[in-house]
Structure 1
């Protein structure tokens, strides 16, 4: 750093132009009278005494009398400490500015609109890593690779991980290697069209961003049970139900695990109509108290209000109305509904077919 840059840095640290001129000159001289110092720098003689008093009050120099007013630079340790602390503060301020520019504080908003996809992706990764129940993702193969460590962690935590893979604009999906998803995903489906990025985690968090070639680029972060339900229906109807399964970790034999009551009914209703005895394990919440509850018993009734006349296997859209199960545990009978249940006694978070006989 040359002399001019040093003066500029000192001015940025709070010194005036004359103060920085005098201090740099005094560092070179070691000690000098006021008049000698004025001659050595660009400070007018009439101003040098005021400048020296100001520098002394800031701790940069000390003055003493020796026939006339003299000055010498103080030990620079205190000055260096002050400059370093300012540098740290400025660096922290720069980081905070960047963070606030990228996103608002998510924890204080039910719904946040952000500018950058990186912010959406980072939030989704955080949610996925901490997932305990279910993860639903609409992603490209590249995004899957970036999220693989977080998805593996969620899978190992016991979450059901559902992936809807889609290509980037202008690309085609590569061939599916099932080994990529082992220990990472519960089920993978393949969509042929470019699609928005969607992440839905544990029914309370959702992240959304339009695909890369969309005219408007923004992101939506949701931290709310009811709003997340809207994104869940979009995912199920547009990104999941109608697309082919390319990988599944589920087996056709019990125990068979479901996170959605409608998918459970699609598989169970034909068996129930045949008179099969289906032992079901429900994990969820009591709808009134919101206390956790576990129910294990015999499925004795399947009730749904189909929006159209069913033809063969029930479609997801045909089950868009109320869906209710009745489970007998021996001593008690429980009515069970799905996400957002109001009329039933239990809201199912997970349903497991334990046995079919």
Structure 2
């Protein structure tokens, strides 16, 4: 069972209509359309308030996904699109990163979080911490600050990156088997990743609750490979391996071109070196030599120039 996870709206599922997440290709295409569409509509708008609302982009959640998204939107507005429009100045777009937490990238520690916030602010991103989103509609959102006061931010484009929830399949498994389940919908499993009382059912990836494992790609990859080996041992009547052991290879988050942060064991890396490390790691994990070369060429064109191959420029 490897059904993954989706965005968590913490009991406010109605927010999804106005602030989609980014957990699938469909989600990514939807956000792409909303972001580019906001710039196009701002170009046609006559009212200053409408232009301001269209050129305000809010990202909710200051984890790795939110940080990367805020940085990408800021770079898109300030570097990629600034020559594509006649009436609006895309560099005046307002990009806001919200989070109820007291720092950016909490799992990375205070030092790297501060570095990431500094890099975002250098890009022009407004980082607002201790800010809890309490309402979202088509024209903006309402934020509650630490002192309990509420304020409204008018913005057409909102991106939700504030949390994840395991697939609903996890709750179905729990109901059918009596297995435990946590608030995020993850299923409690045995040390060999099988369901309690059901040794023929393996659960892997974002659906497992075991030893406080994080919801990272490496957990999914390593748990899947472990489960495959266990199944192979059974088919060959071999002794099973010991308990699943997760090897933490570190965490990385890109902020923009040439800027990233990385936490590898006790090693803290920032700036260009962290960004280069991120590129190398992702290149290694791309399947197939041809795909690696293609990705490398696309990256080179993107980093050297100011355009994006995915978007046709104006004539």
- TM-score between both structures, scaled by the size of structure 2: 0.25
For the pair shown, the structure with the greater C-alpha radius of gyration is 1
| Higher relative contact order, structure no. (Cα contacts within 8 Å, ≥ 6 residues apart) | 2
More strand by share: 1
